[in-house]
Structure 1
Amino acid sequence: MDKVNVLSNYLPEGAAPVIARWIDYFKCEFKISRGRSTKYGDYRHPYKDEGHRISVNYNLNPYAFLITTVHEFAHLLTWNEHKRKAKPHGLEWKSNFKRMMKPFFEQTIFPPDVKQAIVSYLENPSASSCTDLNLFRVLNRYDKKPEGVVHVEKLPINSLFSIKNKRIFKKGELVRKRYKCVEIKTGAVYLFNPLAEVMVVN
């Protein structure tokens, strides 16, 4: 199966041919990776006998997969132009990220809400799309969520919820940008991202 057909399973319609051309042009090893909770994607610069390597989590929705892929290719282009002289998410990377998003804006790749969120994000893109709460909220609308999964910010104060390892917490007040939550078993306090996905405990 050729690259375009494989990529089409993960990307919005019309995006796969562009990404396939980039993979060939930059001679990049592109890997569709298992889901990782700590990152959406990864770029590794050439080292010894290995060339450019990019990995993107398989379980992202198509729009998040595309934005993450462009993010990593912007790292690749920045490395080609500046090597170690540029900061990982410095001005050079930001400029390349904006430039590499243009082909997808010229096509009608994104629905209006995602496009508007990306435009706002592009004004000052940070290390990851998931650190921009507005963009993350919009992208999250297109995720397929298991039944019973909600975001912490949607729960009333004092609600009980559990996380993947079955630990149970009580939701507290918002402290700056995170919710202060108490683990029921230990009484320990943890700060949760408003968009953390949890299960309601009745």
Structure 2
Amino acid sequence: MPAEAAPLIGKWIDYFKCEFKISRNRNSKFGDYRAPYDSKGHRISVNFDLNPYAFLVTTVHEFAHLHTWNEHKGRAKPHGTEWKNNFKKMMQPFFEKNVFPPDVKQAITRYLNNPAASSCSDLNLYRSLRLYDPVKESMVTVEKLPGKALFKLKDGRVFQKEEKLRKRYKCVEVSSRRVYLFSPVAEVEVLNQNN
């Protein structure tokens, strides 16, 4: 995370008596919050491979869950009004410290108008955060592929890109001919037509 953000996150870990764990990469989520259960206290985990700004946004997202749980003892919706208000409040100190570059700050500010369950669901924020990821030579996003291009997922399945349907791209799995919808920002490996 950005160095200037670490002292406040450290205070939150102590204040909330939270077990904070840096986790392996999970494709399905960037972070996770677990409420106290069976003699275990609050637990937060954040994926190790996020860039500093994505790591901080995810960390604040999870601490907002913790704070909301403390206030409402599990009676508030996970991403309801109470969580949204806490998330907005808990982001403020990082704005005051100018932790984020201007483009990310602007994207977060727009996102905070109505934060969603995941920063990935706000494509503007997701794209802004991704600009600070290390470059992955063989990876490209689905939206940048030309039509009919072949691409591969990490699990080895091969797809062909088809047309855009509203927000997602229709893609056909080559082996099964089944149709899947892909987020425009899904990272995939481009295949040459010869592969």
TM over 0.5: yes
Report the counterpart of residue 171 of structure 1 in structure 2.
161
CA distance in 2, matches of 1:71, 1:173: 34
**Aligned to 2:106, which of 76, 93, 116?**
116
CA distance in 1, matches of 2:31, 2:118: 9
**Identity between Structure 1 and Structure 2 (%):** 67
Q: Is 1:158 aligned to residue 142 of structure 2?
A: no
Q: 2:37 corresponds to which letter in structure 1?
A: Y
CA distance in 2, matches of 1:81, 1:42: 19
CA root-mean-square deviation: 0.8
Helix, strand or coil for the counterpart of 2:164? Answer: strand
Q: Is 1:94 aligned to residue 84 of structure 2?
A: yes
For these two proteins, the number of residue pairs brought into alignment is: 192
Q: TM-score, normalised by structure 1?
A: 0.93
1:13 Cα deviation from its structure 2 partner: 2.4
Q: Is 1:57 aligned to residue 44 of structure 2?
A: no
Q: Deviations over 1:43-91 (max 9, x none)?
A: 1111121111100000111000000000000001001101122111111
1:166 Cα deviation from its structure 2 partner: 2.1
1:167 Cα deviation from its structure 2 partner: 1.8
Q: Which runs of 4+ in 1 moved over 6 A?
A: none
Which consecutive residues of structure 1, in runs of 5 or more, have no partner in the other structure?
1-10
Report the counterpart of residue 128 of structure 2 in structure 1.
138
CA distance in 1, matches of 2:96, 2:160: 46
**Aligned to 1:128, which of 118, 121, 128?**
118
1:146 Cα deviation from its structure 2 partner: 2.1
CA distance in 2, matches of 1:131, 1:117: 13
CA distance in 2, matches of 1:188, 1:95: 41
Which consecutive residues of structure 2, in runs of 5 or more, have no partner in the other structure?
none
Q: 1:190 corresponds to which letter in structure 2?
A: Y
Q: Deviations over 1:109-146 (max 9, x none)?
A: 00000000000000000001011111001111111132
Report the counterpart of residue 198 of structure 1 in structure 2.
188
Q: TM-score, normalised by structure 2?
A: 0.96
**Aligned to 2:74, which of 81, 84, 104?**
84
